[in-house]
Amino acid sequence: MPTQQELEDGSNMTDGDEKPDKPDGDIDNNDDDTSSKSRTAAQKRRDRKKARRKAKSTANKQATTTSKFKGTVTELGEHTFVYNSKGRVRQWMRSRIAFIDYAGSKHGKDVKHALVEKTAAVISVPKPKTYSNAEFKDLRDNKAWEYEMWKIQQKAYQEATNKLTHALGQLFSKLWGQCDEALKEKIMSHVEYKAAYSHDDVIKLLHIIDEVCGLGEQDQYIPMRQMTANRRMESFKQTEEMTLAEYHKEFTILADLAEKSGNVYSTPTMIKFAMSLSKDKQIQQATFESMSDVEQTKIRTTAREIYLATVFITNASDTDYAAYKQNCHNSYIQGHDIYPKTINEANSALDRYKFDLKIYQKKTNEKIIIEHGFLNNGSPQGDVECYNCGRTGHYSNQWSTSQTIGTS
């Protein structure tokens, strides 16, 4: 039996003996002092922020996967549309993507295109030329071979159209079966539901689901809906467990929803900036009001894409793309704008960045051969460093490669 002194010292203890807990005030201060010296306050704040972000990400993930509701399409698994759920918006986005992919795999690219673009148009077969009455009479009477070819094309296009219409009709019940009862009640109260139901219009049903899950109640205060949709898009960030493809798809959905709620990203400031980037000096010097309708539409589209691409790049994972973002910033300060100008360009830029030579060598054991070349007529630019290859004398937008990748 250990003495009281031995218990206090923690010495001569057997395996069965338990060392009493120290009072709160007796916690070793030496360890704290050592820890505080090795870890700055800034590091501690970053660690706490990272822990909170990880906990939030885990909670959101659990919220999207713990729903008890099971849909009627077994292939979609847990990808269902639910209304009363903490992670409703995230689950809606993931389920939406999964349903469209499922529809495409079952019924072909025409169906997938129709659901993505929200218009029933055949793309797998070329649309036959449309003739006026006089032209068609001339074709039929005087151009027998061309007329026969036109009939073949017309038949193929009509068959593809009928197939698309039939497939979309079948998908209505499947999409409906993936909605829980609470969501169905909200859908049925929507002003467009009767029209969607009477025609088995899965495109319209998907549109209603987007509004209910993405924007909330129809009778919500309109400025509030607009603000919420915009904030949701601008604050949406790529998490560590999210692939670039997933981030791109979900960001595109949120951007589309934000614009449907009334947000406009071709602001006067962005329009002016887009005009300044034009290669046409007349556009650079002109006023927006003096442009034709076609030119104004083009500038608005460019301004919108630039803004959304910037948000997309900014909210991409810092873990994977912090160096790329910094390089874009540094290059712009030095007079070289290498920021992507569309969402697709931004997505491609981040995807290509995975093959940065330094990162590639760190993350894989494969062999990569880089043949280096200049796009600036061979003239180096001092100590400027290229983020693509790490060499000096040029910017990353002046870099060209031909790569051979294989196992070593």
Composition of the chain by helix, strand, coil, percent to 5: 60, 5, 35
Residue-level length of the chain: 408
Among 256, 216, 300, which residue's Cα sits nearest to residue 118? 256
Which of 65-69, 82-86, 142-146, 258-262 shows the lowest mean pLDDT across its residues?
Answer: 65-69
Among 329, 268, 275, which residue's Cα sits nearest to residue 302? 275
**Residue 366 confidence (pLDDT):** 41
Whether 100 and 175 have beta carbons less than 8 Å apart is answered as no
Whether 324 and 349 have beta carbons less than 8 Å apart is answered as yes
For residues 375 and 193, the model is more confident at 193
Which of 252-266, 271-285, 346-360 shows the lowest mean pLDDT across its residues?
Answer: 346-360
Using a 10 angstrom Cβ sphere, with 0-12 exposed, 13-18 middle and 19 or more buried, the burial of residue 80 is buried
Tell me which amino acid residue 162 is: N
pLDDT in tens, 145-157: 988 999 999 999 9
Rama region for 342: left / alpha / beta (φ>0; ψ in -120 to 50; rest) = beta
**Confidence bin at 115 (pLDDT 50/70/90):** very high
pLDDT at residue 22 is higher than 90: no
For the record, the structure tokens of 305 come out as 């894409």
pLDDT in tens, 334-343: 989 999 999 9
**Confidence bin at 63 (pLDDT 50/70/90):** very low
pLDDT at residue 109 is higher than 80: yes
**Residue 214 confidence (pLDDT):** 76
**Residue 11 confidence (pLDDT):** 45
pLDDT in tens, 122-138: 999 898 988 898 888 88
**Confidence bin at 323 (pLDDT 50/70/90):** confident
d(CA 7, CA 320): 52
Query: What are 406's strand-pairing partners?
Result: 367
Report residue 160 CA to chain centroid gap.
31
pLDDT in tens, 215-234: 765 556 778 878 888 988 89
**Residue 65 confidence (pLDDT):** 45
pLDDT at residue 179 is higher than 80: yes
pTM for the model: 0.57
Whether 208 and 193 have beta carbons less than 8 Å apart is answered as yes
**Residue 242 confidence (pLDDT):** 85
Q: 């003495």: which residue's tokens?
A: 3
Whether 317 and 238 have beta carbons less than 8 Å apart is answered as yes
pLDDT in tens, 256-265: 888 888 899 9
d(CA 34, CA 23): 21
Which of 40-44, 318-322, 350-354 shows the lowest mean pLDDT across its residues?
Answer: 40-44
Q: 């250990």: which residue's tokens?
A: 2
**Confidence bin at 196 (pLDDT 50/70/90):** very high
Whether 215 and 229 have beta carbons less than 8 Å apart is answered as yes
Highest mean pLDDT among 43-57, 184-198, 278-292, 366-380: 184-198
Which of 27-31, 331-335, 391-395 shows the lowest mean pLDDT across its residues?
Answer: 27-31
d(CA 274, CA 4): 80
**Residue 60 confidence (pLDDT):** 53
**Confidence bin at 44 (pLDDT 50/70/90):** confident
Q: Is the dihedral of CA 314, 316, 319, 324 positive or negative?
A: negative
pLDDT at residue 316 is higher than 80: yes
pLDDT at residue 405 is higher than 60: no
**Residue 396 confidence (pLDDT):** 55
Question: Under 8 Å CB-to-CB from 401, ≥6 apart: which residues?
Answer: 370, 371, 372, 373, 388, 389
Question: Under 8 Å CB-to-CB from 243, ≥6 apart: which residues?
Answer: none
d(CA 132, CA 275): 41
d(CA 23, CA 318): 42
**Residue 356 confidence (pLDDT):** 53
Q: Where are the domains of the chain?
A: 70-219, 360-408
For residues 167 and 384, the model is more confident at 167
d(CA 229, CA 221): 12
pLDDT at residue 17 is higher than 50: no
**Residue 360 confidence (pLDDT):** 45
Using a pLDDT cut of 90, give the percent of the chain over it.
35
d(CA 304, CA 264): 8
Tell me which amino acid residue 19 is: K
> Residue range 270-283: average pLDDT?
88
pLDDT at residue 370 is higher than 90: no
